[in-house]
Structure 1
Amino acid sequence: MPVEDIFKPCATAARRTLLLGAGAMGIAVLAGCGGDEPAPGAGGQPGGSSAPAAPSTAGGNPFDDTGSSGGGEPQVPSNALVAAGEVPVGGGVIVKDTVLVIQPAKGTFKAYDAACPHEGAIVDPPFDGNPIIQCPRHNSKFKVADGSRVEGPAPRGLKGIRVEVRGGYVVRA
């Protein structure tokens, strides 16, 4: 009995639609990964402005500085960890993959080595005023106030890092 190749237009159309949709999605994703610089002459377009953009402390990476500071932008201190505005009040952020910077009260900053003393997993930053820092791997818990161990398998608390605010940045002291 010979095997017959049967043309199935519905199956072919569905496959073609799926492939075209996936290709369009890929193009949309790549378009979203474009450069950070606005297009010249964006002043008349919706969402654009003819005024130059003001420097922002929120968002962006202060460590992408290439050494040139065009137009009077503030210089990022060499020992900066994070812009103060990027650390939420009552919460924290992990910076440089190794440091937990927290702001337990407005204008008060603390920093700890983010590696749990138990097995080195990076701890989770606190949020919404939670007074506890927790390790996601084995649930060791530490106090936001001083990094001391509350419970869990960690043999000791988190190592503190002295910080201060300088020029709008949390820096190592």
Structure 2
Amino acid sequence: MSVEDVFNPCAVAARRTLLLGAGAMGIVVLAGCGGDEPSAGAGGQPGGSSAPAAPTSARGNPFDDTGSGRSGDPQVPSNALVAAGEVPVGGGVVVKDTVLVIQPAKGTFRAYDAACPHEGQIVDPPFDGNPIIQCPRHNSKFKVADGSRVDGPATRGLKGIKVEVRGGYVVRA
């Protein structure tokens, strides 16, 4: 009798577990996608207003590209990367999935291409005043001060992007 003809209960159990887990995940996803029952209108009677719900934020997202800005919103510069208040002092944020904006000292902003020059992995923003920017893939390290290479397989530093603060936003200069 060949090895292929022997019944392997472990393989069957593993396959069954995988299929049951996938089925359970599908049920969870479908349950999460289900809509709520429509609520009753004014006075608890059906047939209330069909107007869309009011937005949860009075100002909305200034970086929303849907063009749904309302009057009274501050003018967001067209080249804005992030609101200055969103960048922690001694840390940074990756915006638009391509730019690392950092604030090493209060009111001082720098920006770099967030892709590691080694293989393009997005680098981790520094935090708590750490003077090093690190790539999570192969541990290349770069200086917060100028983006230059400190260590790792990257052969050059991060590409700098000129920025300034305008109207409370960090913008490309």
Confirm whether residue 37 of structure 1 aligns to residue 45 of structure 2. Answer: no
Contact in 2 for aligned 1:90/1:103 (Cα 8 Å): yes
Counterpart AA for 1:145: A
Q: Which residue of 1 aligns with 2:111?
A: 111
Match of 2:136 in 1: 136
1:83-162 mapped onto 2 (5 Å cutoff): 83-162=83-162
**How far off its partner does 1:63 sit?**
1.6
- CA gap 1:65/1:118 in 2 versus in 1, 3 angstroms: closer
Instruction: Name the counterpart of 1:62.
Output: 62
Change (3 A) 1:27 1:68: closer
Q: Is the 8 A contact 1:84 1:165 kept in 2?
A: yes
Percent identity over the alignment? 80
The answer to whether structure 1 residue 166 and structure 2 residue 166 are counterparts is yes
2: distance between equivalents of 1:119 and 1:112?
A: 16
TM-score by length of 1: 0.67
Alignment of 1:9-88 (within 5 A): 26=31, 37-38=55-56, 55=59, 61-67=61-67, 69-88=69-88
The alpha carbon displacement at 1:75 in A equals: 1.2
How many residues are treated as equivalent by the alignment?
Answer: 132
TM-score (normalised: structure 2): 0.67
The answer for unaligned runs of 5 or more in structure 1 is: 1-18, 39-52
Partners of 1:161 and 1:29 lie apart in 2 by 44
> 1:65 Cα deviation (Å)?
4.9
List per-residue Cα deviations over 1:123-150 (Å, max 9, x = no partner). 0000111000000000000000000000
Deviation per CA, 1:31-70: give whole Å up to 9, x if none: 7xxx6714xxxxxxxxxxxxxx765xxxx64221544643
- Taking a change above 3 Å as real, the CA distance of residues 73 and 143 of structure 1, as seen in their structure-2 partners, is same
**In structure 1, what is the Cα distance between the partners aligned to 2:169 and 2:63?**
11
Cα RMSD over matched residues? 2.6
